[in-house]
Amino acid sequence: MTELPTVEVASGITSLAWLLFVLPAAGSLILFVAGRRANTWGHWLGVLTVVASFALGLAIFFQTIGMSADQRTTEVHLFDWIAVAGLKVDFGLRLDPLSLTFVLLITGVGSLIHIYSVGYMSHDPGRRRFFAQLNLFVAAMLILVLGNNFVMLYLGWEGVGLASYLLIGFYQDRPSAATAAKKAFLMNRVGDVGLALAIFLLWTNLGTVQYTDVFERIGQVSPGTVVAITVLLLLGACGKSGQFPLQAWLPDAMEGPTPVSALIHAATMVTAGVYLIARTNPIYNLTESGRLVVALIGTITLLIGAIIGCAYDDIKKVLAYSTVSQIGYMILAVGLGPIGYALGIAHLLAHGFFKAGLFLGAGSVMHAMDDNVDMRRYGGLWRKMPITFVTFGLGYLALIGFPFLSGYFTKDAIIEAAFTAPGWQGWVFGLTASVAAGLTAFYMTRLMIMTFFGEKRWEELETSDGGHYHPHESPLSMTVPMIILAFGSVLAGFLLTNGKALATWLAPSLGELREAEGGALPHSVTPWLVLALSALGVLVAYLVVGRRPTPVERPERVSLPVRAARRDLYANAINEAVIARPGTWLSRFLVFVDNRGVDGVVNGTAALFGGSSGRLRRLQTGFVRSYALSMLGGTVLVAAALLVVRFS
């Protein structure tokens, strides 16, 4: 068991940490309430609050880094949120290296994407609403990572779910956007149930929901319960992070505006699952089998994501499945336990940079191409959009693990660690991750070639409103964030892993990064294997896509695996067949049962009384003589009865 850090009371600028999330929350509230009046300045307010948060985050970061490692965990108690007879849920913040890392990622990338959105959304009448919702997201995400107990985490957890729901459905008049938003929220809710039940289990067994107390006393809980808790937490992580079997919502979430895809569905929110598992590492450290489940889910997902990514023609969906796959790597990493927590976070940060950059690049391309997302209609864009091309290219190289760029350091470290898992696990995890790396190289190269190289397939095509495409470079407010993120994608990996800088920094939260030892393959071999597979992927992509013209229409006569991949490996079909359709039937059936059955009994009772009294009233003929006869009959009967009683 790892040693837990002592918790200090916040001092100095750290005690202002509540401003971190209050600023964007206030921004969001003002923008929502002010309404149309804020249309002219609203976006700048949105940018300002997030940038201010980032500055504050930096200040806190530098104050913290100035302290010794065992003093880096501080808590800020704001007020008692829910307090009933023995239950006390703080509205409190926990500032430690892990949460600060996330704060910087969220506000940093968030600031860039806010700035980018000013340009990207400049023609959209709903820009103010967009910034209000984006600010709401930043606030919720900050609460998620800053909370010092599981209920605060849950608050942020569903808060980002709401923001994501609003932003996916941002183009409200598109039915597909509305459906995608609802799907995202519902699948997240499935995960949320897991998270909620994990909280209930912790409460039942420990009588607390505060991180500090839970981590201190988790050892007292029976092993079976610990496994249950870890699996339930994983279910939550699967929902939020788009992991198998709840991965189907993430690609659909691309219905939202592209900056949203970059910020929420690539860089920050979807990595919350990784954060959750890393945060609760004292629980996961206790159970081998719990971690194994995590690693397995990660492995399955990274392969699924990579396979499906190869088949799509929609640039955002390819990137989305790439995200699914990359988060799979992170989940695999944190599933490996103490040898992997820091690696997962490192890859998360690097991924935050290059994937956000890639999405912004994709947004830039779409901006130029009249919001068309079909890569078959792109081609030869590198001349038209040089900045986008270069920044996107750097992100691409970082993602496929080109030597000495971010992905090379962070992803390879995960694969290396995966090979060291004991027994069959090492082979399964390591080899799957390596093969998926090759697939990643393939689909990303395919994307690059189809978008930036080859023929200009858009020249003969008409836009949706009948005009011609005029690709052009995007304005400064969009390209500058892309350039900064490109720098990040190039340098992040080296900076984070050099001398284990990140791992040392995170040690108070995650425990010391343990050296991965032994394993299926010698350490000298793995990097070469991964490199070779990636190179193979690039080569195959070049041979398949680069050397012959790409048809504008999608070929329908394709092999079985491609067909399966195009249909998301039937994930949606299974959801539809197993849950959605039976659910609809059940609902309809129950409505029928309720109206005819349950209410039928009620109305039936009423009808019974009504009917029988209707029969009975027929006796009231209105003939006085018949009444008299019945009176006489009654009297005779009574007299007879009396006589019988008397004389018997």
Partner 1 sequence: MLLLILLLLPLVGAAVVAPMKNNARTAKLVALGFSLVSLVLTIVTWFSYSVAAASSGTRFQLELSVDWIPAFGTHFALGIDGIALVMLALIAVLVPIVMAFSWEERIPEGRSAAGFYSLILATQSLLVGVFAATDVFLFYVFFEAMLVPMYFMIGRFGGPRRQYAAVKFFLYSLLGGLIMLAAVIGLFVVSGEQLGSGTFTWVDLQRMAASVPESTQIWLFLGFFLAFAIKAPLVPFHTWLPDAGAEAPVGAGVLLVGVLDKVGTFGFLRYCLPLFPFASKTLAPLVLTLAVIGILYGALLAVGQTDLKRFVSYTSIAHFGFIALGIFSFSSQAFAGATLYMVNHGISTGMLFIVVGLLITRGGSRLIGDYGGVSTVAPLLAGAFLVAGLSSLALPGTNSFVSEFLVLLGSYPRQPVYTILATVGIIFAALYVLWVYQRTMQGPLRGSAVLGALDTVGGPGTMLDPALSAKRSSGFPDLGRREIAVLTPLIVLILVLGFFPGPVLDVITPSVVATMNEVGLADPVGGLSQ
Partner 2 sequence: MTPTYYLLLSALLFSIGAVGVLVRRNAIVVFMCIELMLNSVNLTLVTFARINGALDGQVIAFFVMVVAAAEVVVGLAIIMSIFRTRRTASVDDANLLKY
Q: Which is nearer to partner 2, 595 or 635 (CB)?
A: 635
21 contact choice in partner 2, partner 1, none (CB below 5 to 8 Å, kind-dependent): none
Matching residue, tokens 């994983």:
234
The H or E element spanning position 594 is none
Record the tokens describing residue 393, joined without a space: 């290219």
Q: Which does 599 bind (CB under 5 to 8 A by kind): partner 1, partner 2, none?
A: partner 1
User: Which residues, at least 6 apart from 39, have a Cβ–Cβ distance to it below 8 Å?
Assistant: 127, 128
Q: Judged by CB, which is closer to partner 1: 79, or 528?
A: 79
Measured in degrees and rounded to the nearest 5, phi and psi for residue 469 equal -80, 135
Residue that has been written with the tokens 């940079």 in this structure = 353
Q: Of the two residues 536 and 636, which places its CB atom closer to partner 2 in the complex?
A: 636
CA dist., res. 5 & res. 185, Å (int):
36
Residue 629: which of partner 1, partner 2, none does it interact with, CB under 5 to 8 A by kind?
A: partner 2
* Count of positions on this chain that bind partner 2 (CB under 8 A): 11
Stretch that binds partner 2, among 68-76, 408-416, 496-504, 619-627 (CB under 8 A): 619-627
- Tell me whether residue 560 or residue 624 sits nearer to partner 2 (CB atom): 624
When CB distances are held under 5 to 8 angstroms depending on the partner's kind, the choice from partner 2, partner 1, none that residue 628 binds is partner 2
Question: Among partner 2, partner 1, none, what does residue 602 contact (CB within 5–8 Å per kind)?
Answer: partner 1
In this complex, which beta carbon is closest to partner 2, that of residue 528 or of residue 623? Answer: 623
In 3D, which of 436, 316, 320, 305 has the Cα closest to residue 375?
Answer: 316
Among 79, 424, 528, 623, binds partner 2 (CB under 8 A): 623
My answer on whether omega of the bond before 259 falls inside 30° of 0, hence cis, is no
Work out how close the CB of 578 gets to partner 1 at its nearest, in angstroms, rounded to a whole number.
14
For the CB of residue 626, give the shortest distance to partner 2 in the complex, in Å. 9
d(CA 120, CA 482) in angstroms, rounded, equals: 12
Near partner 2 in 598-617, by CB under 8 A? 617
Q: Which does 165 bind (CB under 5 to 8 A by kind): partner 2, partner 1, none?
A: partner 1
What 3-state class would DSSP assign to 530?
A: helix
Stretch that binds partner 2, among 77-85, 445-453, 487-495, 628-636 (CB under 8 A): 628-636
* Least Å from the CB of residue 611 to partner 2: 15
Instruction: Pick what 617 binds: partner 1, partner 2, none; C-beta below 5 to 8 Å, kind-dependent.
Output: partner 2
The site partner of 427 among partner 1, partner 2, none (C-beta below 5 to 8 Å per kind) is none
User: What does the block give as tokens for 287?
Assistant: 């159970």
Site membership for partner 2, residue 123 (CB under 8 A): no
Q: Which is nearer to partner 1, 246 or 360 (CB)?
A: 246
622 scored as a contact of partner 2 (CB under 8 A): yes
Q: Provide DSSP, 292-304.
A: HHHHHHHHHHHHH
Binding-site partner at residue 587 among partner 1, partner 2, none, CB < 5 to 8 Å by type: partner 1
Partner from partner 2, partner 1, none binding residue 621, C-beta < 5-8 Å depending on class: partner 2
DSSP 460-523: T-B-TTS-B----PPPHHHHHHHHHHHHHHHHHHHHHHGGGHHHHHHHHHH-PPPPP-S-SS-T
Render the burial of 338-377: b for 16+ CB within 10 Å, e for the rest: bbbbbbbbbbbbbbbbbbbbbbbbbbbbbbbbbebbbbbb
Decide if residue 464 touches partner 2 (CB under 8 A): no
> Which residues are paired to 93 by β-bridges?
76, 147
Identity (one letter) of the amino acid at 85?
A
Secondary structure (H, E, C), 568-627: HHHHHHHHHHHHHHHHHHHHHHHHHHHHHHHHHHHHHHHHHHHHHHHHHHHHCCCCHHHH
Residue 8, strand partner residues: 74
CB of 178 or CB of 390, closer to partner 1? 178
Q: Give, rounded to a whole angstrom, the gap between the first and last alpha carbons of the chain.
A: 94
- On the 0-12 / 13-18 / 19+ scale of CB atoms within 10 A, 333 is buried
Distance in Å, CB of 107 to partner 1, minimum: 20
Asked if 621 touches partner 2 (CB under 8 A), the answer is yes
Contact 21, 54 (CB under 8 A): no
- Provide the minimum distance between the beta carbon of 165 and partner 1 in the complex, in angstroms, as a whole number: 8
465 binds, among partner 2, partner 1, none (CB under 5 to 8 A by kind): none
Longest CA pairwise span in the chain (Å): 124
Residue closer to partner 2, measured from CB, 44 or 609? 609
Phi and psi based region of residue 22 (left: phi greater than 0; alpha: psi -120 to 50; beta: remaining): alpha
Task: Kindly state the smallest distance separating residue 169's Cβ from partner 1, in Å.
Answer: 6
For partner 1, the binding residues (CB under 8 A) are 32, 35, 79-87, 91, 151, 154-155, 157-159, 162, 165, 169, 172-175, 177-179, 181-182, 185-186, 189-190, 192-193, 196-197, 199-201, 203-204, 207, 583, 586-588, 590-591, 594, 598-599, 601-602, 606
Please identify which residue in 83, 558, 590, 628 interacts with partner 2, judged by CB under 8 A: 628
Strand partners, 74: 8, 95
Q: What is the CA radius of gyration of the chain?
A: 31
623 contact choice in partner 2, partner 1, none (CB below 5 to 8 Å, kind-dependent): partner 2
Closer residue to partner 2 (CB): 625 or 646: 625
CB of 131 to partner 1, least distance (A): 15
* Residue 590 interface partner, choices partner 2, partner 1, none, CB cut-off 5-8 Å depending on type: partner 1
- Piece of 73-81, 156-164, 352-360, 618-626 that binds partner 2 (CB under 8 A): 618-626
The CA dihedral of 108, 111, 114, 119, to the nearest 10 degrees, is -110
Q: Which of 68, 464, 524, 620 binds partner 2 (CB under 8 A)?
A: 620
DSSP string, 181-206: HHHHHHHHHHHHHHHHHHHHHHHHHH
Q: Which two tokens stand for residue 466?
A: 């009948």
Spatial CB neighbours of 549, under 8 Å, sequence gap ≥ 6: 454, 455
- The partner in contact with residue 196, picked from partner 1, partner 2, none with C-beta cut-offs of 5 to 8 angstroms by kind, is partner 1
Report the alpha-carbon angle 287-290-296, nearest 5.
140
| CB 615 to partner 2: min, Å | 11
Dist CA 645 CA 459 (whole Å): 113
Task: Tell me how far apart the alpha carbons of residues 644 and 604 are, in angstroms, rounded to a whole number.
Answer: 42
Q: Does 632 bind partner 2 (CB under 8 A)?
A: yes
Give the footprint of partner 2 on this chain (CB under 8 A).
617-618, 620-625, 628-629, 632
